[in-house]
Amino acid sequence: MFRKNWYLFRTLCAFSAVAGVFASPLVAQDEAVADALARLMAAEDRREYESEVLGNSSRYPDPIVRRQAALSMGRLGDPAAIPLLFEMLLDSDSTVRRNAAFALGLIGDLSGFDRLREFVLDTPGEEHYEAHAEAVTAISRIGGSEATEFFREFLGRFQNVGEEGPPPSIVRALVDSWRLRENAPVDLLVRFAESENYQTRWSAIYSLARLRDSRGATTLLAATGDEDAEIRSLAVRALDATFADSSGLDRAALAGRVRRLVNDDHEHVRINALRALATFADSNLAPVAIDRMSDQKANVRVQALVTLGRLGGSESVAVLRERLDDRNFAIRRQALISLSSIPGSGALEFLGEWFASGDWRDRIVAAQGLAAVEGDTALAWLEHLSGDEDPRVAAAALSGAARVDSTYARFIARELIGHADAVVRAAAAAQIAVEPDVADIQPLADAFRLSQSDSISDARIAIVRALGAVSQLGPGAAMAVESGFLDLFGEPDDYLVRRAAEQSFPAAAARWRPAIPLMTRRELGDYREIARNLILPAARSGVVPRVTIETDRGRIELSLLPIEAPLTVQNFLELIDRRFFDGGVWHRVVPNFVIQDGDPRGDGQGGPDYAIRDEINVERYERGTLGMALSGPDTGGSQFFITHSAQPHLDGIYTVFGRVVSGYNVLDNITQGVTIRRIRKS
């Protein structure tokens, strides 16, 4: 009965789509399209589900609007959109169908499962390939026993794993199987991992590597000899000491397999092999990592230093000491932190020099090293650094103290809760929340008053969470928070603060209006301009903005994605016009993962004086993907990252808004501390 109704539904929708085409011009006037897009963007930016706007947009004659409408529905996450998205699965435009399937996954409601399943299994044809793939991802996001059964049935249907490979939906099912965790079809993944087709093999190995299920051990071991470097890289990363123990593998034999890959021809394999080797914590393996200290790739050397810190031993200590004077900041920084993590290494002897440095970056590294050393001496030094004149150092010192002794760190936090710097205040409030006390109400309220004038939300959010923790101590504490905080302050305009209250401070949330819808910094005309200048040129003629990042290591050119993330792209371009990024440094580099910058503070805690909403989209995190860094949903601003290699676990979580088109060699050679001379429009 259900299937008959589904076919009838498809027929009616197809008729409606045809009628719509004949009732309107094939391509609407661009001004009207720009206006429709503007209304969509405005509603989405407010995080407001406007049923009339979304309903009209879902049936708009021009597919550009329908595509954006589907994405908006998914980003808003309201199950009320599900019936509209079901209709859009049958749209005449393949991109609309793809976006609709993706949006159903973002909403993640179980009520969408049956329709997605029917769509994948009962609408054959190459014209549906991309939409089918997104529908498979959506099912994996919805999860549950239904998703498990679907994946097993769907993958089990396909028997041909020859060189030509399966359709995209099967490949997507392979790469997303890890989302099912303990219910993943490991036996089927093992079969597909033997495919002659590269994409099939890579996708199956990716899930097996993330799952680290003992049933995939033999396959992962075999994959370390694959002809493709990225597959070897995936496989060896999973072969760590924990996997050896859980899979019943001989530790020494597995370590031997890993150590051979430390000398692989490809740097990504060498980096991941060094990561895996570190988990064995055997100083006898140190010479393997020491040999990589002559590697031509700086990020391989950085990872080798990380590994030496985990392996320990006298040989590691000697090499780490030698590297403390390296000209490359990333090398000497990691050498000090790794040395500090080895008991009895004498790291304090060297930390003193960094502790007294006139460069705030060195003092932050000293704080990180002291946290690794631990002990009373390290804690005393960290307390001293918490009073540093540079707030970036003070914040790092408090974070370091928290790792050494949370109780003592709380004492330091109470001293810092009234600090002039918002980030320090935020770190202090977060530490107070770990062990809340009624005595903290007044200092937290005073800090909140000070935080009213902050350009960033961090301290206000952390203070609200801390007060929420205090209020949970009992009825007396709740009343004290009410009189000592809630009665004294009006409702905050900052939606992020109100959202924090909804998550952890019910009494405040009950007094304040909901976090959404929210006020935005743009008028409707601003959204129209974005549609005219970014979305329509890209959709009509493929014209997209390009930017060039000029660094001390060379240039990286990126192509931006205005259709998929128009507000994020516009924000990025506006910051470039302000020369916001010029002179900054790459403050975070994780070898074979990401490089990250866009922080005017330089310590990873900064940004502009506003936050932008996420624009999650169907684009995947492949090598050279530009993404927006976050500290939580809808907290983006200026910090961005670029991936060294494919990272599917980031898909659908962080906004993709660009891709590298040239300069991959520069991307691989960036290390922490390298300067961005400027970012300019190409």
CB atoms inside a 10 Å sphere around CB 475: 8
pLDDT, tens only, 278-297: 999 999 999 999 999 999 99
Q: Read out DSSP for 498-550?
A: HHHHHHH-HHHHHHSPPS-S---S--HHHHHHHIIIIIHHHHHH----EEEEE
Could you count the other beta carbons within 10 Å of the beta carbon of residue 46?
18
Indicate the helix (H) or strand (E) that contains 330.
helix 329-340
Pick the CATH number of 524-681 from 2.60.120.200, 2.40.30.10, 2.40.100.10, 3.40.50.720: 2.40.100.10
The type of residue at 341 is: S
Angle at the Cα of 394 from the Cα atoms of 374 and 637, rounded to 5 degrees:
115
User: How many Å apart are CA 414 and CA 394, to the nearest integer?
Assistant: 13
**Are the beta carbons of 586 and 674 closer than 8 angstroms?**
yes
What pLDDT is attached to residue 159? 73
Q: What pLDDT is recorded for position 162?
A: 62
3-class state of residue 641 by DSSP:
strand
- From edge to edge, which strands make up the β-sheet containing 676-681? 588-590, 594-597, 640-643, 625-628, 656-662, 554-560, 546-551, 676-681
Contact between 100 and 88 (Cβ < 8 Å): yes
Cβ neighbours of residue 103 under 8 Å, at least 6 residues apart?
70, 71, 73, 74, 75, 81, 85
Percent share of the chain, pLDDT over 70? 95
d(CA 480, CA 598): 41
At residue 520, the pLDDT reads: 93
| Cα(463)–Cα(427) distance, integer angstroms | 10
537-568 b/e with 16+ CB inside 10 Å = b? bbbeeeebbebbbbbebeebebebbbbbbbbb
pLDDT digits (tens, 9 = 90+) for 595-617: 999 999 999 999 999 999 999 99
| pLDDT value, residue 671 | 98
- CA–CA separation, 424 and 386 (whole Å): 9
Residue 5 pLDDT greater than 80, yes or no: no
| CA-to-CA dists, residue 174 to 135, 140, 350, angstroms | 13, 11, 49
Give CA–CA dist 471/433, Å, rounded: 11
Q: Is a pLDDT exceeding 80 seen at residue 373? A: yes
pLDDT over 70 at 84, yes or no: yes
R_g of the chain, CA atoms, integer Å: 27
The rounded distance, in Å, linking the Cα atoms of 673 and 586 is 5
Residue 27 vs residue 134, higher pLDDT: 134
Nearest to 196 by CA among 152, 169, 229, 228: 228
What pLDDT is attached to residue 291? 98
pTM of the model: 0.94
Cis-peptide into 517, omega within 30 deg: yes
Neighbouring C-beta atoms of residue 580, cutoff 10 Å:
18
Please state the rounded mean pLDDT for residues 671-677.
98
CATH no. for 2-142:
1.25.10.10
The whole-number average pLDDT for the span 637-649 is 98
Rounded distance between C-alpha atoms, residue 220 and residue 262, angstroms: 16
CA atoms of 34 and 27, how far apart (whole Å): 12
pLDDT of residue 165: 75
Instruction: Give the model's pLDDT for residue 6.
Output: 39
pLDDT, tens only, 509-557: 999 999 999 999 899 999 999 999 999 999 999 999 999 999 999 999 9
Adjacent-strand bridge partners of 660: 558
HSE toward the beta carbon, residue 53, CA cutoff 13 A? 19
pLDDT above 90: percentage of residues in the chain: 93
For the segment 92-140, what is each residue's pLDDT rounded down to a tens digit?
Answer: 999 999 999 999 999 999 999 999 999 999 998 889 999 999 999 999 9
pLDDT > 80? residue 8: no
Cα distance between residue 590 and residue 424, in whole Å: 25
Does 216 have pLDDT greater than 80?
yes
Band of residue 12 on the pLDDT scale cut at 50, 70, 90:
very low
Is 1's pLDDT higher than 70? no
Is residue 277 a contact partner of residue 285, using CB atoms and an 8 Å limit? yes
| pLDDT recorded at residue 17 | 39
Mean per-residue pLDDT, 196-219: 97
CA 297/CA 315 separation, integer angstroms:
22
Mean pLDDT over 422-438 rounds to 97
Q: What is the mean pLDDT of the chain?
A: 94
Helix (H) or strand (E) holding 412: helix 406-416
* DSSP alpha helix (H) spans, 248-328: 251-261, 267-278, 286-291, 298-311, 314-322
Please report the pLDDT score of residue 524 as a whole number.
97
Residues of the chain with CATH 1.25.10.10: 2-142
Separation of alpha carbons 247 and 37, rounded Å: 53
Q: Is 670 helix (H, G, I), strand (E, B) or coil?
A: coil
**Residues forming CATH 2.40.100.10 domain(s) in the chain:** 524-681
